[in-house]
Amino acid sequence: MKKLLIAFIAAAAVVTTAAIIVSREDSILRTSSITTAADYEYEIPLGTGERTDAGEELDIFPWLLKVHVGESIRIVNKDDRDHLIGAFFVGAGETLTQEFVSPGMLTGECSIRPGSSFTIQVFE
């Protein structure tokens, strides 16, 4: 009985530790980098940050993008500022390309439209 309980505690400790390590990863909608052409392509032009600061409303991204597993998105940031586009961070001068590999929802703020969000719904 005692050995069983010790084994149980050891197993609980291992499971708890593993759960702690992976719990935050599991909740992320998985994506993977690709290099081929993307299904949805967006470009953030140079000067976007300044235009946003000036109060201009830019229509670069939709509020909601519906995609399917296997499709991909590419965001080219030609601005001299970093931008937060929903769940994605795209540094100044960087290009982000991601493939959607599981269904779910990605949402977050959009630095191009202060106070609003950009949501991607991924369907099977």
Partner 1 sequence: MTERHALPSRVAMSIFAGLIIALVPASATFADAPGPTDYRSTITSVETTDGLPLPEGVSISIEGHDSFLALTVPKGVAAEVPGYEGESYLKIDQDCTTSENQHSMSTWYNKDRFGGDASTDLVDNDANPDWKIIGSTCSVAWHDHRIHYMSSIPPINAEPGDVIVTDSIALTIDGRDVVVYVASELVAPASQLPAIVGAIVAFAIVTVMWRGTTLALLVFPISAIGIIIGGAQYLWAPADTGPNISVFALPFIAAAAGIAASVARQRGLLFANGSVLLGGTMLTIWAIRRIDVFSYALLPTSLPYWVDRSATAVITVSGITFVSYSVQQLWRMSTVRPTTGLATD
Contact residues for partner 1 (CB under 8 A)? Answer: 1-2, 5-6, 8-10, 12-13, 16-17, 20-21, 23-24, 27-28, 31, 82, 84, 87-91, 94, 96, 98, 106, 108-109, 111, 114-115
SS3 44: strand
State in angstroms the smallest separation of the CB of 55 from partner 1. Answer: 13
The alpha-carbon radius of gyration of the chain (Å, integer) is 20
State in angstroms the smallest separation of the CB of 59 from partner 1. Answer: 21
Q: How far apart are CA 76 and CA 94, in angstroms?
A: 6
Q: How far apart are CA 10 and CA 118, in angstroms?
A: 44
Could you tell me which of 58, 121, 54 has the C-alpha nearest to residue 86? Answer: 121
State in angstroms the smallest separation of the CB of 3 from partner 1. Answer: 11
Judged by beta carbon, residue 12 or residue 64, the one nearer partner 1 is 12
